[in-house]
């Protein structure tokens, strides 16, 4: 069984000693009750993975000897999910599911029909998403923690789509009005993929028109209508089979 993954800002070279303290150390020592002699995989969240062994354990702090270290290859193609803000009770769930399913970046979007409104609390809400992404990455033993961008408005999302398309990306807006099928898009040859997921109320006509003008393809993900909190995870699962990511 693979060792549990914990994150450090900097991972020492083999033979060095790493100190796991703060929230990560508290979770390891107090919640997980990891003890001397147990293996732990350390990561910086940016690709570095290091096998280590606990050599000292305190209430909220572990010391570890680094045994080996490598850099994991990033997934190809990279996938960014533009996620319209779900209702508060499903907001962090959406982040957890897409992180476990493999997204590389997450862009929170204040779409027109979002029930949630982050305008007065954007910084705090984004930090919650970053924390949720980190926890889900640990659960999934990921070498890369998805980057969570600052809150985007529709104009920001349109700029993102134009930039991605100019670089050769495939941009898919998932919506029930799509006439094309998700599986028919040329994902395998794309250097990057952008998935756009609307809110509970769906993308409005103005957004759909603007996204199409910016270069996005409006497509059906499948035969059923999915919740906004699960759509990205389902799409990422399909991409695992449709591209070299798996």
* pLDDT band with cut points at 50, 70 and 90 for residue 2: low
For 191-214, write each residue's pLDDT tens digit: 999 999 999 989 999 999 999 999
> Domain check: are 115 and 156 in the same one?
yes
According to the model, what pLDDT value does residue 160 have?
Answer: 98
Output the domain CATH number for residue 114: 3.40.1280.10
| pTM of the complete model | 0.93
Statement: residue 1 has pLDDT above 50: no
Structural domain including 58 reads 5-71
Pick the closest to residue 147 from 50, 221, 216, 82 (CA basis): 82
Q: Has residue 108 got a pLDDT over 50? A: yes
pLDDT of residue 3 exceeding 80: no
Among 53, 71, 89, identify where a domain stops: 71
Q: What is the CATH number of the domain that holds 48?
A: 2.40.240.20
* Range 81-95 average pLDDT: 94
Write the CA distances from 74 to 80, 129, 146, 176, 208, integer angstroms. 13, 21, 11, 32, 31
Beta strand ranges found along the chain (DSSP E): 4-7, 17-20, 39-43, 48-58, 61-71, 78-84, 105-109, 147-148, 170-174, 180-181, 192-197, 217-220
Q: Tally the domains of the chain.
A: 2
3-state secondary structure of 222: coil
Residues 150 and 66 in one domain: no
Q: In what order do the strands lie in the sheet with 78-84?
A: 147-148, 105-109, 78-84, 192-197, 170-174, 217-220, 180-181
């Amino acid at each position: 069984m693979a060792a549990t993954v914990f994150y450090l800002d900097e991972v020492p070279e083999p033979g060095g000693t790493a100190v796991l303290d703060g929230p990560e150390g508290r979770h390891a020592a107090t919640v997980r009750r990891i003890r001397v002699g147990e293996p732990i995989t350390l990561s910086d969240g940016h690709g570095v993975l290091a096998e280590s062994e606990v050599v000292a354990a305190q209430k909220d702090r572990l010391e570890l000897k680094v045994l080996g270290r490598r850099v994991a290859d990033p997934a190809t193609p990279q996938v960014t999910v533009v996620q319209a803000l779900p209702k508060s009770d499903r907001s962090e769930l959406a982040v957890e599911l897409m992180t476990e399913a493999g997204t590389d970046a997450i862009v929170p979007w204040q779409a027109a029909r979002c029930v949630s409104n982050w305008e007065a609390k954007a910084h705090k809400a984004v930090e919650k998403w970053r924390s949720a992404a980190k926890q889900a990455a640990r659960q999934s033993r990921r070498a890369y923690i998805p980057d969570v961008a600052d809150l985007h408005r529709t104009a920001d999302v349109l700029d993102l789509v134009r930039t991605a398309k100019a670089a050769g990306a495939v941009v898919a807006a998932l919506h029930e009005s799509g006439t094309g099928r998700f599986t028919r898009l040329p994902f395998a040859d794309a250097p990057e993929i952008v998935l756009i997921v609307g809110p509970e109320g769906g993308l409005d006509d103005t957004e759909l028109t603007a996204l199409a003008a910016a270069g996005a393809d409006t497509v059906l993900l499948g035969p059923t209508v999915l919740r906004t909190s699960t759509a990205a995870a389902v799409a990422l699962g399909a991409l695992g089979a449709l591209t070299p990511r798996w």
